[in-house]
């Protein structure tokens, strides 16, 4: 049986998980791949702290460049994180002609072009399966299993923190702040939750999925993003439930005749669909291909062992390529079509709108008129709650498909109506 | 860009779908793989019938061996079906040193060992992604994405016909016969539905998944199988719903310390779990790995285009290996552990039992006593329906975990009680 040597850079949470998996599951890995995949070195500045995983002392090293250039090491696994030394070491590994496995979303987002270019020049593969969806082999599914398809749409629940918060707002009727505090107590949210709850983590992942699906390098900073903080309130979750929907923070990636849409938004999804059943910290991606139709991938989007599972899946892929005498096996997708990003105002969607309208004759008509003025057609309007105390009634409006710019204009007009109380709030609907 | 030639054997439903996909999606395939994958020949005895797909006339051939041995053809795609000439041509292609892609479940089940042995000898890969789950890349996920994991369990809804029937029994309250007739009218069930509704199709797929997960070659004929015909009645679906469950025909594959369980049975699954949301002709597999924890794969389990999607995914894999100069890349998994098949009587599960008991004092106590006599402990017992007319009450009993042999003995004893009306009926529960 051929032997392939692995070196891990970074002995943190995921690094220790990968070490555990490589050591403990060596036998099933060898049975499936026909290769003995050997963990030969782990490099970290700190090799004395207890990582909760028993590894032979002699494989621990502090000289990272020594590990990269060690002739016994065939595959480099970068789990340092960040974009400083991680970038340097990844480039050095590629320069040394060694395939790289990484879970570093930020590194790919900021230095992907540089890394892919060097990898192509050197004929080396770069694997990044764990950068989206943790333990779910979604990147591999898009790259390999669905390779035959034109990808029409991806709808992803890709941030466990947000999904945990939304699920507990829904199941326990909690306000956002309380649900966030609970998530922080449970270790499912950071002390500074901005990257998660404001949607940026999901957006980075959406961009990676779009890059595989469409062979593009989207500029993340220019993409529309809405998170759940200050956007989704407990009453929206209740009203949505009354209408047969649940609210999820979605990564939405679509291709409409070469117009690519990549965005993140809290969105109503039908309660009897698969995405509605994805609860708590679990993630999922629903992918619509022109041949496959809908397929869905579900699992744990984070965590030491699930992430390690996907990292080791990538290591196995790299090992199979080396053992079979292959050079670079994976092309970095590059589109040859004339694609362009859809302007945010042109994005078409159904909408859920929550209005606060003075409880007087004619106020609903005025609001409906504002929608009509901008070509937005209404599929349902329902009064909720008791206007008695405040003098304002809550009215939920569901629209048919409409352009973002038209919805915005209609809501702007409604905001300026004399009968309008609190500013209108809107969420998308993806049926 | 490298060019790789593909020859399709069999221009039937799936063959025409694969031809369509290769021709129409050549560009995205090339962008993703960096390879021009060219459909160069389609062999079939009948090359004049309209297949609903426009292909250049000159690529149609009747000389199958000529296609296999054509030096312009690098990959052979067997879509003839059956085990006669399909076996012959697959062996000939491997003999010619060409990787084979097939969706032929029956061929693998009956001649897998012969095919894999020759492939190993010749250093050739055999791909069979579309043999389970149609458009869902589940085989690839098990083989590659989850390669790092010890697979603890797989729960699969793998037969669209059965799931369509069960879904319409549930949603429309239909009897099995009516739901089957509807499925036949819709084209979702064969005129002779035996292979589907009696569970054999699901069992073959379960065996293939187990072979990848555990590196074993199970003897399908010795495995426990129950279908839905004569087993699931509309009232069971209603009672299960009252208890918070739905009934699905499940492929169940488990590994308990080297004791492997492979079986098919209609089973109660929790209504808030992912499997409960899989409706109609859709399929799904929930896979529990020791590192990944639960992951789920969902999509269309059959149909021309979804199946073609997975076949072409395999073609892309084969093409990548050839283009990168690799020989055989995939090992056929072979376990090195001392595994054995679990005896059917030793299989442990919770159970739903429907009893018909005389409406007299002491009859429930007698039935409960019978469970107790065989060490089966009861978690709930509920009387259903009105015994007034027949003199018999329907009682639903949910058990705690119990061995199959003990459940069988308890139900046998209950059958012989004077108070027992119709024979007891049971279904498994997987929480």
8-state DSSP, B337:
S
Residue A330 tokens, joined: 């994976």
Rounded Cα–Cα distance for residues A98 and A43 (Å):
16
B91 and B115 Cβ atoms separated by less than 8 Å = yes
Catalytic annotation, pick one of A205, A248, A254, A342:
A205
| H-helix or E-strand spanning residue B5 | strand B2-9
Q: Among partner residues A32, A284, A324, which is closest to B321 by beta-carbon distance?
A: A324
A11, A8, A66: which is closest to A41 by C-alpha? A8
User: Tell me: the pLDDT tens digits for B317-343?
Assistant: 999 989 888 777 777 777 777 789 999
**Mean pLDDT, residues A19-42:** 95
Below-70 pLDDT ranges, chain B: none
Tokens of B55: 């292909």
For residue B407, what are its two tokens?
A: 């459940």
Between chain A and chain B, the number of residue pairs with CB atoms below 8 A apart is 243
Whether residue A398 has pLDDT greater than 90: yes
Higher pLDDT among residues B11 and A329, named by residue: B11
Whole-structure pTM value: 0.95
Residues of A within 8 A of B324 (CB-CB) are 321, 326-329
CA dihedral B124, B125, B126, B132 (to 10 degrees): 170
d(CA B64, nearest CA chain A) in Å: 25
Q: Say whether B276 and A277 touch across the interface (CB within 8 A).
A: yes
Q: What whole-number distance in Å separates Cα of residue A378 and Cα of residue A362?
A: 17
Q: Is the pLDDT of residue A389 over 80?
A: no
Asked if pLDDT for residue A55 goes beyond 80, the answer is: yes
Nearest to A4 by CA among A69, A53, A76: A76
pLDDT tens figures, A264-292: 999 999 999 999 999 999 999 999 999 99
Give kind and range of the element (H or E) at residue B381.
Answer: strand B378-384
- In order, the DSSP letters of B273-301 are STGGG--TTEEEEEEEETTTEEEEEEEES
Tell me which fold the domain B2-132+304-323 belongs to: Rossmann fold (3.40.50)
pLDDT surpasses 80 at A145:
yes
Quick one: pLDDT at residue A337? Answer: 78
d(CA A333, nearest CA chain B) in Å: 5
> Crossing angle of helices B200-214/B105-122, nearest 10°?
30
Contacts of B293 in chain A (CB under 8 A): 135, 299-300, 303, 305-306
Domain A141-300 class in CATH: alpha beta
pLDDT in tens, B234-273: 999 999 999 999 999 999 999 998 899 999 999 999 999 9
- The residue of chain B nearest to residue A216, with distances taken between CA atoms, is B31
Chain A partners of B322 at a C-beta cutoff of 8 Å?
none
So what's the ipTM on this one?
Answer: 0.95
Give the homologous superfamily in CATH for domain B138-300: Dihydrodipicolinate Reductase; domain 2 (3.30.360.10)
C-alpha span between B247 and B94 (Å, rounded): 43
Find how far residue A396's CA is from the centre of its chain: 29
Look at residue B169 in the predicted model and tell me its pLDDT: 98
Asked whether the beta carbons of B300 and A293 are under 8 A apart, the reply is yes
Closest CA to B298 of A279, A141, A209, A147: A141
Does CATH number 3.30.70.260 belong to domain B344-429? yes
Q: Which CATH architecture has domain A345-429?
A: 2-Layer Sandwich (3.30)
- The pLDDT tens digits of the residues spanning B2-58 come to 999 999 999 999 999 999 999 999 999 998 899 999 999 999 999 999 999 999 999
For residue A338, the model assigns a pLDDT of: 78
Residue-by-residue DSSP string for A247-293: EEEEEEEEEETTEEEEEEEEEEEETTSTGGG--TTEEEEEEEETTTE
> B-chain residues within 8 Å CB-CB of A306?
291-293
For the domain A2-134+304-323, what is the CATH code? 3.40.50.720
Inter-CA distances, A142 with A210, A297, B34, B177, B222, Å: 10, 10, 15, 40, 37
Asked if B205 is an active-site residue, the reply is: yes
Which tokens go with B152? Answer: 């603890």
Residue spans of the domains in chain A: they are: 2-134+304-323, 141-300, 345-429
pLDDT, tens digit (0-9, with 9 covering 90-100), for A82-127? 999 999 999 999 999 999 999 998 898 889 889 999 999 999 999 9
Residue range A208-217, pLDDT digits in tens: 999 999 988 8
């Amino acid at each position: 049986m051929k032997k392939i040597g692995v070196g891990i850079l970074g002995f943190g949470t995921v690094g220790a998980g990968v070490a555990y998996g490589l050591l403990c599951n060596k036998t099933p890995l060898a049975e499936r791949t026909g290769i003995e995949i050997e963990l030969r070195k782990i490099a970290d500045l700190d090799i004395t702290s207890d990582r909760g995983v028993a590894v032979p002392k002699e494989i621990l090293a502090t000289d990272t460049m020594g590990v990269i250039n060690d002739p016994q090491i065939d595959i480099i696994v970068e789990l340092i994180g960040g974009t400083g030394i991680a970038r340097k070491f990844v480039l050095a590994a590629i320069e040394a002609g060694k395939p790289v496995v990484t879970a570093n979303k930020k590194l790919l987002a900021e230095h992907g072009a540089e890394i892919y270019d060097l990898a192509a020049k050197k004929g080396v593969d770069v694997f990044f399966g764990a950068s989206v969806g943790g333990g779910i082999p979604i990147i591999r599914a898009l790259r390999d299993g669905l390779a035959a398809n034109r990808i029409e749409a991806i709808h992803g629940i890709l941030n466990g923190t947000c999904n945990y918060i939304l699920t507990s707002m829904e199941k326990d009727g909690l306000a956002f702040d309380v649900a966030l505090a609970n998530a922080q107590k449970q270790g499912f949210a950071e002390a500074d939750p901005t990257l998660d709850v404001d949607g940026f983590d999901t957006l980075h992942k959406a961009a990676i999925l779009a890059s595989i699906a469409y062979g593009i390098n989207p500029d993340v900073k220019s993409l529309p993003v809405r998170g759940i903080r200050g956007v989704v309130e407990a009453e929206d979750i209740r009203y949505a439930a009354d209408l047969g929907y649940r609210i999820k923070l979605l990564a939405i990636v679509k291709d409409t005749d070469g117009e690519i849409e990549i965005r993140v938004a809290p969105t109503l999804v039908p309660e009897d669909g698969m995405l509605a059943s994805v609860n708590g910290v679990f993630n999922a991606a629903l992918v619509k291909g022109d041949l496959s139709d809908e397929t869905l991938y579900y699992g744990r989007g984070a965590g030491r062992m699930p992430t390690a599972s996907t990292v080791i899946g990538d290591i196995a892929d790299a090992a199979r390529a080396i053992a079979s005498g292959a050079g670079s096996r994976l092309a970095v997708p590059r589109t040859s079509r004339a694609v362009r990003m859809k302007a945010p105002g042109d994005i078409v969607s159904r909408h859920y709108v929550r209005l606060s309208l003075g409880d007087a004759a004619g106020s609903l008509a005025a609001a409906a008129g504002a929608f009509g003025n901008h070509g937005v057609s209404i599929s349902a309007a329902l009064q909720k709650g008791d206007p008695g105390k405040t003098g304002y009634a809550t009215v939920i409006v569901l629209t048919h498909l409409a352009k973002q710019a038209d919805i915005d204009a209609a809501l702007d007009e409604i905001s300026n109506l004399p009968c309008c109380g609190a500013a209108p709030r809107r969420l998308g609907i993806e049926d």
